[in-house]
């Protein structure tokens, strides 16, 4: 990307806090910046903050975050060794009674927020970027792709590799217990592909 004035993650977080690039900031409690090692070899990109993330200001701290943490552990990856972020940095929601229900970001919102993800990738220089779900996959790859068609295999992207898999919230929504276990097992297997590749390149 073109030359930019932001040179550190601290400067990036400060700039993101003032973001008005799309209207989502108006209803969100706060921006939720990415977190993790400043030279992480693995970057995990979700869709957007959820209700808990919006309240706490940290990525993947709600129910989907707990599934992600467990899957990383089962795949032999320390969450603390990764940089965890989202394609869209503000929570998009609609009221349902007293609850705030997640609403999928639009293509416009994804593209307006792409600037921040690009900056994170420039600053961190991860070897592998994991796109968790369709929104993240679109943001990381720059085009609409089906997760099902490219899931679980490493693909080249500028300055590294990308692996697409499901978003952990998908597992939460599955009602059938056998299907839920199968999807979780596959999710861990996808993450293990990254763990092996990173170990091999170390």
In this prediction, residues 58-64 reach a mean pLDDT of: 96
- Confidence check: pLDDT of 2 > 80: no
Domain ranges of the chain: 9-201
User: What is the Cα gyration radius of the chain?
Assistant: 16
Looking at the DSSP bridge assignments, the partners of residue 157 are 160
pTM: 0.95
Enter the tokens of residue 106.
Answer: 């639009």
**Count of other CB atoms within 10 angstroms of residue 179:** 11
**Spatial CA neighbour of 160 closest among 133, 131, 190:** 131
- Confidence check: pLDDT of 3 > 70: no
Query: Is 9-201 a domain of CATH 3.40.470.10?
Result: yes
Q: Calculate the dihedral angle through the C-alpha atoms of 23, 146, 128, 71, rounding to the nearest 10 degrees.
A: 90
- Expressed in angstroms, the distance from the first to the final Cα of the chain is 27
Q: What is the pLDDT of residue 158?
A: 83
Give 196's pLDDT tier (boundaries 50, 70, 90).
Answer: very high
Give the DSSP letter string of 36-80. Answer: E-TT-SEEEEES---HHHHHHTSSS-SHHHHHHHHHHHHTT--GG
Enter the tokens of residue 10.
Answer: 């601290």
């Amino acid at each position: 990307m073109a030359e930019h004035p932001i040179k550190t993650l601290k400067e990036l977080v400060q700039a993101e806090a003032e973001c008005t690039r799309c209207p989502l900031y108006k209803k969100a409690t706060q921006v939720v910046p990415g977190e993790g090692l400043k030279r992480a070899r693995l970057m995990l990109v979700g869709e957007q903050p959820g209700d808990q993330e919006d309240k706490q200001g940290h990525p993947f701290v709600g129910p989907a975050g707990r599934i992600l943490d467990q899957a990383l552990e089962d795949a032999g990856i320390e969450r603390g060794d990764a940089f965890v972020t989202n394609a869209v940095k503000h929570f998009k929601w609609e009221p349902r009674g007293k609850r705030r229900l997640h609403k999928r970001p639009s293509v416009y919102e994804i593209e307006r927020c792409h600037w921040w993800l690009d900056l994170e990738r420039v600053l961190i220089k991860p070897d592998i970027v994991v796109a968790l779900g369709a929104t993240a996959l679109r943001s990381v790859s720059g085009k609409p792709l089906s997760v099902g068609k490219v899931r679980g295999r490493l693909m080249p992207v500028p300055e590294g590799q990308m692996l697409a898999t499901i978003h952990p919230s998908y597992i939460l929504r599955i009602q059938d217990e056998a299907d839920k276990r199968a999807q979780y097992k596959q999710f861990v297997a996808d993450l293990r592909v990254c763990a092996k590749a990173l170990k091999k390149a170390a």
